[in-house]
Amino acid sequence: MTIQYHLQLAAGDVGRYVLLPGDPGRCEKIAAFFDNPQKMAQNREYTTYTGTLLGEKVSVVSTGIGCPSAAIAVEELIKIGADTFIRVGTSGGMQPGTRTGEIAVVTAAIRDEGTTRHYLPLEFPAVADPTVVQALRQGAINLGLPFRTGVSHSKDSFYGEIEKERMPLSEQLAARWKAWVQGGAICSEMEAAALFIIAGIHRKRAGGVMMMVGKDEGLPETEEDKRLFHGDRAIRTAIEALKILIRQDQGT
């Protein structure tokens, strides 16, 4: 039995359906939605729980921050049998009028990061699987939650976004940001591009659901805004979407 070096997992340790938060501390919270969850491994930024939903084995694996560590997680999960991935994360809203607590159902990602350039030329788009996107949209609708559907901006530098004015490349960063917004990008985060590109290469399914902080509101300060921003709605949407996908795959 081959143990994957970074995840410290082997075939049989995870289900085909995997939720992917960045924060290891969020894994136990997500696993609480599973039936009979068990902690399977913890190594570096990677924490794994496995349980069941509707009788199917499902897992949650943290990826850490950014595309490099997320790419490692997805590569190793595919090697041990996972084939359906949903990124469950937080993000900054980009469109005017976005309010903290809205959900972004991500259809594709701008590849403004370095990891995926080692996989495919930049001309190749990072696109989510349409069946996963539809399940996430339906999940948000079923739960009555506010959401937007659209393109995410995947980046490598957190502070290059939120404090771009102090960077030596401030003018270029501001111009690029303006272009993403005018192009219709709905949120900015740090992992979706790698997930979509790698899943596509391996012919697997992937999507993403992100909590958004309001474009003009800044980082959340109240306890309610913190609770919303750190994933309650995104988690529930992802769980609802998994149930939809499982039923579709079961033909029920």
What is the structure's pLDDT at 126? Answer: 98
Question: pLDDT digit string (tens) for 158-204?
Answer: 998 889 999 999 999 999 999 999 999 999 999 999 999 999 999 99
Q: How many folded domains does the chain comprise?
A: 1
Banded model confidence at residue 228, pLDDT cuts 50, 70, 90: low
Q: What is the mean pLDDT of residues 33-57?
A: 98
Is 92 part of a structural domain of the chain? yes
Question: Can you give the pLDDT at residue 79?
Answer: 98
Domain membership flag for residue 12: no
How confident is the model at residue 72, as a pLDDT? 98
211 Cβ contact list (under 8 Å, min separation 6)? 89, 90, 91, 101, 102, 103, 104, 228, 229, 230, 231, 233, 234
Question: Which of the 8 DSSP states describes residue 4?
Answer: P
* 11 lies in some domain: no
Scan for tokens 């958004």, then name that residue: 212
1 occurs within a structural domain: no
- pTM, whole model, 2 decimals? 0.94
Q: Any idea what the CATH number is for the domain that residue 79 is in? A: 3.40.50.1580
Q: Which residues contact 252 (CB under 8 A, 6 or more apart)?
A: none
Mean pLDDT of 49-70: 98
Would the pLDDT of 217 be above 70? Answer: no
Residue 150 lies in a domain: yes
In a domain, 8, yes or no: no
Confidence of residue 154 (pLDDT cuts 50, 70, 90): very high
Domain hosting residue 236, numbered range = 17-250
Q: Residue 210 domain-assigned?
A: yes
In-domain check, residue 5: no
Q: Would you say residue 225 has pLDDT above 70?
A: no
Q: What is the pLDDT of residue 218?
A: 62
Length of the chain: 252
134 — pLDDT class (breaks 50, 70, 90): very high
**Per-residue pLDDT averaged across 225-244, rounded?**
83
The pLDDT tens digits of the residues spanning 101-126 come to 899 999 999 999 999 999 999 999 99
Residues 6 or more apart in contact with residue 131 via CB below 8 angstroms: 205, 245, 248
Which is more confident, 100 or 20?
20
